[in-house]
Structure 1
Amino acid sequence: MNRLYAVLYPLIWIFMRIFHPWKAEGRENVPEGAVVMCGNHTTLGDPIYVVCALGWRCQTRIIAKEELMKIPVLGFLLGKAGIIGIKRGKADVAAIKEAMRVLRNGEKLLLFPEGTRVKEGENAAAHTGAAMFATRTGTMLLPVYIAPKKKLFRKTRVVFGKPYAPVYEGRKAGPEDYQRIADDLMDRIHHLGGSV
Protein backbone atom coordinates (compact mmCIF):
# COMPACT_ATOMS: atom_id res chain seq x y z
CA MET A 1 0.00 0.00 0.00
CA ASN A 2 1.24 3.49 -0.88
CA ARG A 3 2.22 5.10 2.43
CA LEU A 4 1.21 8.66 1.56
CA TYR A 5 -2.15 7.41 0.23
CA ALA A 6 -2.65 5.60 3.55
CA VAL A 7 -1.82 8.76 5.52
CA LEU A 8 -3.92 11.17 3.45
CA TYR A 9 -6.94 8.89 3.08
CA PRO A 10 -8.34 9.15 6.64
CA LEU A 11 -7.92 12.94 6.61
CA ILE A 12 -9.80 13.28 3.33
CA TRP A 13 -12.37 10.70 4.46
CA ILE A 14 -13.20 12.68 7.62
CA PHE A 15 -13.48 15.96 5.71
CA MET A 16 -15.74 14.39 3.07
CA ARG A 17 -17.86 12.54 5.64
CA ILE A 18 -18.65 15.83 7.37
CA PHE A 19 -19.06 18.23 4.45
CA HIS A 20 -19.64 16.08 1.35
CA PRO A 21 -20.96 12.68 2.50
CA TRP A 22 -21.66 9.89 0.03
CA LYS A 23 -23.93 6.88 -0.28
CA ALA A 24 -22.18 3.87 -1.84
CA GLU A 25 -24.37 1.44 -3.81
CA GLY A 26 -23.17 -1.81 -5.38
CA ARG A 27 -19.89 -1.84 -3.47
CA GLU A 28 -20.05 -5.64 -3.54
CA ASN A 29 -19.61 -5.50 -7.33
CA VAL A 30 -16.02 -4.30 -7.03
CA PRO A 31 -13.82 -7.36 -7.59
CA GLU A 32 -10.59 -8.22 -5.86
CA GLY A 33 -7.49 -7.39 -7.88
CA ALA A 34 -7.19 -5.45 -11.10
CA VAL A 35 -10.15 -3.68 -12.69
CA VAL A 36 -10.59 -0.54 -14.81
CA MET A 37 -13.18 1.62 -13.04
CA CYS A 38 -14.76 4.33 -15.15
CA GLY A 39 -17.15 7.07 -14.11
CA ASN A 40 -19.04 10.07 -15.39
CA HIS A 41 -17.33 13.36 -14.62
CA THR A 42 -19.28 16.47 -13.61
CA THR A 43 -17.22 17.97 -10.78
CA LEU A 44 -13.59 18.18 -9.70
CA GLY A 45 -14.35 16.10 -6.61
CA ASP A 46 -15.65 13.02 -8.47
CA PRO A 47 -12.48 10.94 -7.97
CA ILE A 48 -12.57 11.68 -4.24
CA TYR A 49 -16.19 10.52 -3.96
CA VAL A 50 -15.30 7.24 -5.67
CA VAL A 51 -12.19 6.62 -3.56
CA CYS A 52 -14.10 7.35 -0.33
CA ALA A 53 -16.97 5.07 -1.40
CA LEU A 54 -14.50 2.26 -2.12
CA GLY A 55 -13.02 2.35 1.37
CA TRP A 56 -9.52 2.59 2.79
CA ARG A 57 -8.51 -1.01 2.03
CA CYS A 58 -9.39 -0.68 -1.66
CA GLN A 59 -6.45 1.50 -2.70
CA THR A 60 -6.92 2.84 -6.20
CA ARG A 61 -4.64 4.47 -8.76
CA ILE A 62 -6.25 7.44 -10.52
CA ILE A 63 -5.52 8.93 -13.93
CA ALA A 64 -5.71 12.74 -13.81
CA LYS A 65 -4.90 15.55 -16.21
CA GLU A 66 -1.23 16.48 -16.17
CA GLU A 67 -2.04 20.12 -15.32
CA LEU A 68 -2.91 19.05 -11.76
CA MET A 69 0.52 17.50 -11.37
CA LYS A 70 2.16 20.84 -12.14
CA ILE A 71 0.51 22.69 -9.25
CA PRO A 72 3.18 23.37 -6.59
CA VAL A 73 3.00 21.10 -3.53
CA LEU A 74 -0.36 19.58 -4.62
CA GLY A 75 1.18 18.03 -7.72
CA PHE A 76 4.04 16.62 -5.68
CA LEU A 77 1.66 15.08 -3.14
CA LEU A 78 -0.59 13.64 -5.85
CA GLY A 79 2.36 12.02 -7.58
CA LYS A 80 3.67 10.53 -4.32
CA ALA A 81 0.16 9.24 -3.56
CA GLY A 82 0.15 7.30 -6.83
CA ILE A 83 -1.86 9.57 -9.11
CA ILE A 84 -0.91 9.14 -12.79
CA GLY A 85 -0.75 12.43 -14.68
CA ILE A 86 -1.60 12.21 -18.37
CA LYS A 87 -1.22 14.72 -21.20
CA ARG A 88 -4.62 15.28 -22.77
CA GLY A 89 -5.07 15.39 -26.52
CA LYS A 90 -1.95 13.40 -27.34
CA ALA A 91 -0.53 9.90 -26.95
CA ASP A 92 1.21 10.01 -23.58
CA VAL A 93 3.30 6.84 -23.87
CA ALA A 94 4.77 7.06 -20.37
CA ALA A 95 1.33 7.42 -18.72
CA ILE A 96 -0.13 4.62 -20.87
CA LYS A 97 2.70 2.26 -19.92
CA GLU A 98 2.30 3.12 -16.23
CA ALA A 99 -1.47 2.51 -16.36
CA MET A 100 -0.98 -0.90 -17.96
CA ARG A 101 1.77 -1.76 -15.46
CA VAL A 102 -0.65 -0.92 -12.64
CA LEU A 103 -3.28 -3.32 -14.03
CA ARG A 104 -0.79 -6.10 -14.71
CA ASN A 105 0.32 -5.76 -11.08
CA GLY A 106 -3.24 -6.50 -9.97
CA GLU A 107 -4.05 -2.92 -8.90
CA LYS A 108 -7.21 -0.94 -9.51
CA LEU A 109 -7.31 1.97 -11.96
CA LEU A 110 -9.86 4.79 -11.98
CA LEU A 111 -10.38 7.11 -14.93
CA PHE A 112 -13.06 9.21 -16.55
CA PRO A 113 -13.64 8.33 -20.24
CA GLU A 114 -15.11 11.74 -21.09
CA GLY A 115 -11.66 13.19 -20.41
CA THR A 116 -13.02 16.38 -18.86
CA ARG A 117 -15.86 17.60 -16.69
CA VAL A 118 -19.22 17.45 -18.49
CA LYS A 119 -22.28 19.27 -17.18
CA GLU A 120 -25.47 17.33 -16.51
CA GLY A 121 -27.49 16.98 -19.71
CA GLU A 122 -24.48 17.55 -21.96
CA ASN A 123 -22.82 14.81 -23.95
CA ALA A 124 -19.14 14.33 -24.67
CA ALA A 125 -17.54 11.68 -26.84
CA ALA A 126 -15.98 8.91 -24.78
CA HIS A 127 -12.23 8.59 -25.12
CA THR A 128 -10.90 5.11 -25.79
CA GLY A 129 -8.17 4.82 -23.13
CA ALA A 130 -10.19 2.61 -20.78
CA ALA A 131 -11.08 0.24 -23.63
CA MET A 132 -7.45 0.01 -24.66
CA PHE A 133 -6.22 -0.63 -21.11
CA ALA A 134 -8.83 -3.34 -20.51
CA THR A 135 -8.35 -5.20 -23.79
CA ARG A 136 -4.55 -5.07 -23.75
CA THR A 137 -4.26 -6.31 -20.16
CA GLY A 138 -7.24 -8.70 -20.12
CA THR A 139 -8.84 -6.67 -17.34
CA MET A 140 -12.56 -6.16 -16.75
CA LEU A 141 -14.31 -2.79 -16.94
CA LEU A 142 -16.47 -1.55 -14.07
CA PRO A 143 -18.89 1.35 -14.67
CA VAL A 144 -19.34 3.86 -11.85
CA TYR A 145 -22.03 6.54 -11.63
CA ILE A 146 -21.52 9.62 -9.48
CA ALA A 147 -24.63 11.77 -9.00
CA PRO A 148 -23.97 15.14 -10.69
CA LYS A 149 -25.87 17.26 -8.16
CA LYS A 150 -23.81 17.60 -5.00
CA LYS A 151 -24.91 19.63 -2.01
CA LEU A 152 -23.06 20.50 1.16
CA PHE A 153 -23.94 18.09 4.00
CA ARG A 154 -26.17 16.01 1.67
CA LYS A 155 -25.25 12.50 0.55
CA THR A 156 -24.11 12.02 -3.04
CA ARG A 157 -24.86 8.65 -4.66
CA VAL A 158 -21.90 6.64 -5.92
CA VAL A 159 -23.14 3.55 -7.78
CA PHE A 160 -20.83 0.69 -8.72
CA GLY A 161 -22.10 -1.43 -11.60
CA LYS A 162 -21.16 -5.00 -12.38
CA PRO A 163 -17.73 -5.67 -13.90
CA TYR A 164 -17.68 -7.09 -17.41
CA ALA A 165 -15.19 -8.10 -20.08
CA PRO A 166 -15.16 -5.87 -23.17
CA VAL A 167 -16.29 -7.67 -26.33
CA TYR A 168 -14.60 -7.33 -29.69
CA GLU A 169 -14.14 -9.38 -32.85
CA GLY A 170 -10.87 -10.90 -33.92
CA ARG A 171 -7.78 -11.75 -31.93
CA LYS A 172 -6.87 -8.15 -31.18
CA ALA A 173 -8.99 -5.05 -30.62
CA GLY A 174 -8.45 -2.11 -32.97
CA PRO A 175 -9.43 1.60 -32.94
CA GLU A 176 -13.03 0.93 -34.04
CA ASP A 177 -13.41 -1.73 -31.36
CA TYR A 178 -12.03 0.68 -28.75
CA GLN A 179 -14.61 3.30 -29.70
CA ARG A 180 -17.51 0.85 -29.61
CA ILE A 181 -16.40 -0.41 -26.21
CA ALA A 182 -16.00 3.17 -24.93
CA ASP A 183 -19.47 4.20 -26.15
CA ASP A 184 -21.05 1.10 -24.61
CA LEU A 185 -19.22 1.82 -21.35
CA MET A 186 -20.65 5.35 -21.15
CA ASP A 187 -24.14 3.97 -21.82
CA ARG A 188 -23.71 1.56 -18.92
CA ILE A 189 -22.52 4.37 -16.64
CA HIS A 190 -25.55 6.54 -17.44
CA HIS A 191 -27.94 3.59 -17.02
CA LEU A 192 -26.67 3.21 -13.44
CA GLY A 193 -27.94 6.71 -12.76
CA GLY A 194 -31.30 5.99 -14.31
CA SER A 195 -30.65 7.92 -17.52
CA VAL A 196 -29.83 6.73 -21.03
Structure 2
Amino acid sequence: MNQDQMKPLNRFFVFIYYLVGLIADILHPVTVEGLERLPQSGALLCPNHSSNWDPVLVALKLPVNYRLHIMAKEELFHNPILGWILRKVGAFPVNRGGSDIQSVKTALQAIKSGDNLLMFPEGTTIRNGVGYADGLPAHAHGGVAMIGVRAGATLVPVFVDGEKKLFHRTRIIFGEPYQPQISGRHGTAEEIQKAADGVLAAAYALGGQAVGGKPL
Protein backbone atom coordinates (compact mmCIF):
# COMPACT_ATOMS: atom_id res chain seq x y z
CA MET A 1 0.00 0.00 0.00
CA ASN A 2 1.46 3.40 -0.98
CA GLN A 3 1.50 6.56 1.14
CA ASP A 4 -1.46 8.08 -0.72
CA GLN A 5 -3.65 5.13 0.20
CA MET A 6 -2.59 5.51 3.86
CA LYS A 7 -4.03 9.05 4.10
CA PRO A 8 -7.01 9.27 6.49
CA LEU A 9 -10.30 8.54 4.75
CA ASN A 10 -13.16 11.03 4.64
CA ARG A 11 -15.65 9.59 7.17
CA PHE A 12 -18.61 10.98 5.27
CA PHE A 13 -17.35 9.26 2.12
CA VAL A 14 -16.97 5.95 3.96
CA PHE A 15 -20.53 6.25 5.30
CA ILE A 16 -21.94 7.03 1.83
CA TYR A 17 -19.81 4.30 0.23
CA TYR A 18 -21.26 1.54 2.39
CA LEU A 19 -24.82 2.91 2.58
CA VAL A 20 -25.21 3.46 -1.17
CA GLY A 21 -23.28 0.25 -1.83
CA LEU A 22 -25.83 -1.73 0.16
CA ILE A 23 -28.73 -0.17 -1.77
CA ALA A 24 -26.99 -0.60 -5.14
CA ASP A 25 -26.22 -4.26 -4.45
CA ILE A 26 -29.95 -4.89 -4.05
CA LEU A 27 -31.14 -2.84 -7.03
CA HIS A 28 -28.28 -3.62 -9.43
CA PRO A 29 -26.16 -6.60 -8.33
CA VAL A 30 -22.77 -6.60 -10.06
CA THR A 31 -20.28 -9.21 -11.22
CA VAL A 32 -16.75 -7.80 -11.33
CA GLU A 33 -13.82 -9.07 -13.38
CA GLY A 34 -10.24 -7.85 -13.56
CA LEU A 35 -10.16 -5.83 -10.36
CA GLU A 36 -6.71 -7.22 -9.63
CA ARG A 37 -5.37 -5.46 -12.74
CA LEU A 38 -5.91 -1.96 -11.37
CA PRO A 39 -2.88 0.22 -10.64
CA GLN A 40 -2.86 1.43 -7.04
CA SER A 41 -2.44 5.07 -8.04
CA GLY A 42 -2.26 7.38 -11.04
CA ALA A 43 -4.95 5.50 -12.96
CA LEU A 44 -7.45 7.00 -15.38
CA LEU A 45 -10.45 4.67 -15.55
CA CYS A 46 -12.24 4.92 -18.91
CA PRO A 47 -15.63 3.15 -19.01
CA ASN A 48 -18.25 3.12 -21.74
CA HIS A 49 -21.34 5.06 -20.66
CA SER A 50 -24.93 3.90 -21.10
CA SER A 51 -26.62 4.76 -17.81
CA ASN A 52 -26.51 7.28 -14.97
CA TRP A 53 -25.82 4.28 -12.74
CA ASP A 54 -22.42 3.66 -14.39
CA PRO A 55 -20.22 5.93 -12.25
CA VAL A 56 -21.98 4.79 -9.08
CA LEU A 57 -21.61 1.08 -9.81
CA VAL A 58 -17.99 1.36 -10.93
CA ALA A 59 -16.97 3.48 -7.93
CA LEU A 60 -18.68 1.18 -5.45
CA LYS A 61 -16.82 -1.87 -6.76
CA LEU A 62 -13.44 -0.28 -6.13
CA PRO A 63 -11.75 -0.58 -2.72
CA VAL A 64 -13.00 2.04 -0.28
CA ASN A 65 -9.44 3.45 -0.03
CA TYR A 66 -8.88 3.65 -3.80
CA ARG A 67 -8.87 7.48 -3.78
CA LEU A 68 -11.15 7.92 -6.76
CA HIS A 69 -12.24 11.24 -8.25
CA ILE A 70 -15.07 11.41 -10.78
CA MET A 71 -15.50 14.00 -13.50
CA ALA A 72 -19.29 14.55 -13.59
CA LYS A 73 -21.57 16.72 -15.69
CA GLU A 74 -22.13 20.18 -14.28
CA GLU A 75 -25.93 19.81 -14.24
CA LEU A 76 -25.72 17.36 -11.33
CA PHE A 77 -24.23 20.10 -9.14
CA HIS A 78 -27.09 22.57 -9.72
CA ASN A 79 -28.97 20.96 -6.83
CA PRO A 80 -27.23 22.36 -3.73
CA ILE A 81 -27.71 19.23 -1.62
CA LEU A 82 -26.69 16.77 -4.33
CA GLY A 83 -23.80 19.00 -5.33
CA TRP A 84 -22.54 19.12 -1.76
CA ILE A 85 -22.68 15.33 -1.46
CA LEU A 86 -20.94 14.82 -4.80
CA ARG A 87 -18.08 17.09 -3.82
CA LYS A 88 -17.74 15.32 -0.48
CA VAL A 89 -17.29 11.97 -2.22
CA GLY A 90 -14.65 13.22 -4.64
CA ALA A 91 -16.65 14.27 -7.70
CA PHE A 92 -16.15 17.57 -9.50
CA PRO A 93 -18.15 19.27 -12.27
CA VAL A 94 -17.30 19.71 -15.93
CA ASN A 95 -19.07 22.00 -18.39
CA ARG A 96 -19.61 19.79 -21.43
CA GLY A 97 -20.66 22.71 -23.62
CA GLY A 98 -17.21 24.20 -24.04
CA SER A 99 -13.64 24.44 -22.78
CA ASP A 100 -13.56 24.01 -19.00
CA ILE A 101 -10.03 24.84 -17.89
CA GLN A 102 -10.77 24.45 -14.17
CA SER A 103 -12.10 20.90 -14.54
CA VAL A 104 -9.04 19.96 -16.60
CA LYS A 105 -6.74 21.37 -13.90
CA THR A 106 -8.65 19.46 -11.22
CA ALA A 107 -8.40 16.23 -13.21
CA LEU A 108 -4.66 16.67 -13.81
CA GLN A 109 -4.03 17.44 -10.14
CA ALA A 110 -5.99 14.39 -9.00
CA ILE A 111 -3.79 12.05 -11.03
CA LYS A 112 -0.50 13.85 -10.40
CA SER A 113 -1.14 13.73 -6.65
CA GLY A 114 -1.28 9.94 -6.81
CA ASP A 115 -5.06 9.61 -6.70
CA ASN A 116 -7.18 8.04 -9.45
CA LEU A 117 -9.74 9.48 -11.85
CA LEU A 118 -12.87 8.12 -13.53
CA MET A 119 -13.76 9.84 -16.80
CA PHE A 120 -16.10 8.73 -19.58
CA PRO A 121 -14.47 8.99 -23.04
CA GLU A 122 -17.89 9.43 -24.69
CA GLY A 123 -18.66 12.40 -22.48
CA THR A 124 -22.36 11.58 -22.27
CA THR A 125 -24.82 8.74 -21.91
CA ILE A 126 -24.92 6.53 -25.02
CA ARG A 127 -27.82 4.26 -25.94
CA ASN A 128 -28.37 2.46 -29.21
CA GLY A 129 -25.17 4.00 -30.52
CA VAL A 130 -26.42 7.60 -30.17
CA GLY A 131 -25.39 10.17 -27.57
CA TYR A 132 -28.14 12.09 -25.80
CA ALA A 133 -26.15 15.32 -25.58
CA ASP A 134 -25.11 15.83 -29.20
CA GLY A 135 -27.22 13.32 -31.15
CA LEU A 136 -24.08 11.95 -32.81
CA PRO A 137 -23.02 8.31 -33.13
CA ALA A 138 -21.03 6.99 -30.18
CA HIS A 139 -17.48 8.32 -30.28
CA ALA A 140 -14.60 9.23 -27.97
CA HIS A 141 -13.71 12.81 -27.16
CA GLY A 142 -10.01 13.62 -27.21
CA GLY A 143 -10.10 15.22 -23.75
CA VAL A 144 -9.77 11.92 -21.93
CA ALA A 145 -6.52 11.09 -23.71
CA MET A 146 -5.22 14.65 -23.41
CA ILE A 147 -5.67 14.55 -19.64
CA GLY A 148 -4.19 11.07 -19.42
CA VAL A 149 -1.10 11.99 -21.44
CA ARG A 150 -0.43 15.30 -19.70
CA ALA A 151 -0.84 13.75 -16.26
CA GLY A 152 1.25 10.68 -17.09
CA ALA A 153 -1.70 8.50 -16.16
CA THR A 154 -2.12 4.80 -16.75
CA LEU A 155 -5.26 4.28 -18.85
CA VAL A 156 -7.62 1.49 -17.82
CA PRO A 157 -10.43 0.50 -20.22
CA VAL A 158 -13.57 -0.52 -18.33
CA PHE A 159 -16.65 -2.24 -19.72
CA VAL A 160 -20.05 -1.79 -18.08
CA ASP A 161 -23.09 -3.70 -19.32
CA GLY A 162 -25.45 -1.39 -21.18
CA GLU A 163 -28.93 -2.52 -20.18
CA LYS A 164 -29.58 -2.27 -16.47
CA LYS A 165 -32.80 -3.77 -15.18
CA LEU A 166 -33.74 -3.71 -11.53
CA PHE A 167 -32.56 -6.80 -9.65
CA HIS A 168 -30.76 -8.15 -12.76
CA ARG A 169 -26.99 -8.69 -12.62
CA THR A 170 -24.65 -6.28 -14.38
CA ARG A 171 -21.06 -6.96 -15.48
CA ILE A 172 -18.14 -4.64 -14.90
CA ILE A 173 -14.85 -5.69 -16.48
CA PHE A 174 -11.55 -3.90 -15.86
CA GLY A 175 -9.09 -4.30 -18.72
CA GLU A 176 -5.31 -4.27 -18.92
CA PRO A 177 -3.75 -0.95 -17.85
CA TYR A 178 -1.45 0.76 -20.36
CA GLN A 179 0.04 4.09 -21.33
CA PRO A 180 -0.68 5.40 -24.85
CA GLN A 181 2.24 5.80 -27.24
CA ILE A 182 2.73 9.38 -28.36
CA SER A 183 5.52 11.48 -29.85
CA GLY A 184 7.00 14.36 -27.89
CA ARG A 185 5.71 15.50 -24.53
CA HIS A 186 2.02 16.00 -25.33
CA GLY A 187 1.58 14.25 -28.69
CA THR A 188 -0.13 15.55 -31.79
CA ALA A 189 -3.88 16.17 -32.07
CA GLU A 190 -4.13 13.06 -34.25
CA GLU A 191 -2.27 10.94 -31.69
CA ILE A 192 -4.45 12.21 -28.86
CA GLN A 193 -7.66 11.39 -30.75
CA LYS A 194 -6.29 7.97 -31.72
CA ALA A 195 -5.50 7.28 -28.04
CA ALA A 196 -9.03 8.31 -27.01
CA ASP A 197 -10.57 6.15 -29.73
CA GLY A 198 -8.34 3.27 -28.67
CA VAL A 199 -9.26 3.23 -25.00
CA LEU A 200 -12.98 3.46 -25.80
CA ALA A 201 -12.72 0.63 -28.34
CA ALA A 202 -10.82 -1.45 -25.76
CA ALA A 203 -13.55 -0.82 -23.17
CA TYR A 204 -16.32 -2.04 -25.48
CA ALA A 205 -14.21 -4.99 -26.66
CA LEU A 206 -14.01 -6.30 -23.10
CA GLY A 207 -17.74 -6.91 -23.39
CA GLY A 208 -17.52 -8.34 -26.91
CA GLN A 209 -18.91 -5.18 -28.48
CA ALA A 210 -17.88 -2.54 -30.98
CA VAL A 211 -18.08 1.15 -30.04
CA GLY A 212 -21.72 2.04 -29.50
CA GLY A 213 -22.68 -1.36 -28.14
CA LYS A 214 -23.09 -3.45 -31.30
CA PRO A 215 -21.79 -7.05 -31.07
CA LEU A 216 -18.38 -7.65 -32.60
What TM-score comes out, normalization by structure 1 length?
0.95
Q: Are 1:168 and 2:177 matched, yes or no?
A: no
What does residue 159 of structure 1 align with? 173
1:20-169 matched pairs, under 5 angstroms? 20-122=28-130, 123-169=137-183
Describe the superposition over 1:24-71 as per-residue Cα deviations: whole angstroms up to 9, x where unpaired: 111111111110001111010100110122132323110000110111
Q: Secondary structure at the match of 1:56?
A: coil
For the Cα contact (< 8 Å) 2:47–2:160, is it kept in 1?
Answer: yes
Please state whether the residue corresponding to 2:126 is helix, strand or coil. Answer: coil
118-127 or 19-28: which moved more?
Answer: 118-127
Could you list the runs of 5+ residues in structure 1 that have no partner in the other structure? none
State the alpha-carbon separation in 2 of the partners of residues 173 and 3 from structure 1. 40
CA RMSD of aligned residues (A): 1.3
User: In 1, are the aligned partners of 2:129 and 2:138 still within 8 Å (CA)?
Assistant: no
Is the Cα–Cα contact under 8 Å of residues 60 and 107 in structure 1 kept in the other structure?
yes
1:181-192 matches, within 5 Å, as 181-192=195-206
How far residue 195 of structure 1 moved from its aligned partner, in angstroms, is 1.3
CA contact (8 A) 1:120 1:148 kept: no
**Residue of structure 1 equivalent to 2:16:** 8
Question: Structure 2 length normalisation: TM-score?
Answer: 0.86
Identify which of structures 1 and 2 has the higher relative contact order when contacts are C-alpha pairs closer than 8 Å and 6+ apart.
1
SS in 2 for 1:159: strand
| Mapped partners of 2:188, 2:75: distance in 1 | 29
CA contact (8 A) 2:157 2:176 kept: yes
Unaligned runs of 5+ residues in structure 2 are: 1-8, 131-136, 211-216
Letter of the 2:144 counterpart: A
What letter corresponds to residue 170 of structure 2 in structure 1?
T
Q: How many residues were matched structurally?
A: 196
Which residue identity lines up with residue 97 of structure 2 in the other structure? G
1:180 counterpart = 2:188 = no
Map Cα deviations across residues 81-113 of structure 1 (whole Å, 9 max, x no partner): 220100112111111111100001110100111
Shift of 1:170: 3.1
Q: Return 102-111 or 130-139, whichever deviates more.
A: 130-139
